[in-house]
Structure 1
Amino acid sequence: MKHLVLAACIGAFSLTTATAVMAQEPAKKPTAAKKKSSTKKKAAAGTAAAAGAAAAVTPTGEKWQCELGNSLYISGDMLRDEILTVHWQGRDYKLPRQSTVTGADRYYDARTGLDLVVIPGKAMLFNKNLGQRLADDCQNAAMQAGAAAPTQAGGLRAPVGAPLLVTPPGGPTIQPQQAQQPDATQQSAAPKQ
């Protein structure tokens, strides 16, 4: 009796597995057909990407060499343009100028998160969306030769040799103490009677 129950269980198990295998075989054939069509689509997309990459190989603008072998290209005039085009890793990004209180030139696009900060010694590229510094110590050819960055903030600064306070031609020089309390100093200097 035990053998009969065991044989029935084995027969039922083999029947269900055979049915499951038969049901899966027709499903495998369309998947293979889908794989072939998807590989064709991927090949076509790869060709289009290769064509796009070939177009991205020739970026426009001035090359800025960064540390770790990275480089970026900047199109536009930092002294007067309000929007610069930055070519980074095969793509062009339009970055509008942002006002700063530090004197650095900053170009930031909130949609992409790219943030280009240019100070007299170098430029840095950040991705604010990811919280990463993408490129650091970027310099163009003139900066590598010892010049300062071509920034608007640098162009607005006074030359080193120029004095910060200049008296107008023919105008009197006002002393700070006289300007604040001219009558009080004269009265306090006079003796009391």
Structure 2
Amino acid sequence: MKEILFIHSAGPQGDLEGSGRLVAGLKRALPSGYTLQAPLMPAPDAPRARPWLEALARHVARARPPFALVGHSLGGSLILKYLAENPVPGGLVGVVSVAAPFWNAPDWEVAEFALPPNAGERLASVPRIVLLNGRGDDVVPLDHLSRYARAVPTVTTREIDGDHEFTHGDIAAVVDAIETLPGFGRGAS
């Protein structure tokens, strides 16, 4: 079984709020052989980096290999921050992040969520990182993809159809990105 640990966005997390549509869509669209865990992170309506990173560390420690980290918005950016500040966990096959804010962009400067200066070097040891952003995202601008690509040259970036909360999101593109992770493709055991 291939495990996906999904880290949600900030804000309300109901079925039709926050990352709810994305999680529901992934559960419907992932082929057999995958499990998806989507734990609630601390205080999603008023998130702080440290409690989220500590919760992420606990969930990663319980993940069964092979596993992938998939994040949406704040969840995606904090996955990258966590991996840039800690050793890559054994069994991690890669990361897929959807609509992750780049926290050093103009009007997005929030130091507690930002990547460390050596993030490119640290994240180079992650087997694969795919960053996606919807062309219709009115929350996280598309230029955040290119900012990540400059900071972390080993990432793969893709523009996809969809908005920030996946009201009409391209779930197939997210599943495809997950299946490009080493050992996670349809033919993988």
The TM tier, using the shorter chain, reads under 0.3
Q: Higher Cα Rg: structure 1 or 2?
A: 1
Higher strand share: 1
TM-score, scaled to structure 2: 0.23
Higher helix share: 1
- Report 1 or 2 for greater relative contact order, CA contacts < 8 Å, sequence distance ≥ 6: 2
TM-score, scaled to structure 1: 0.23
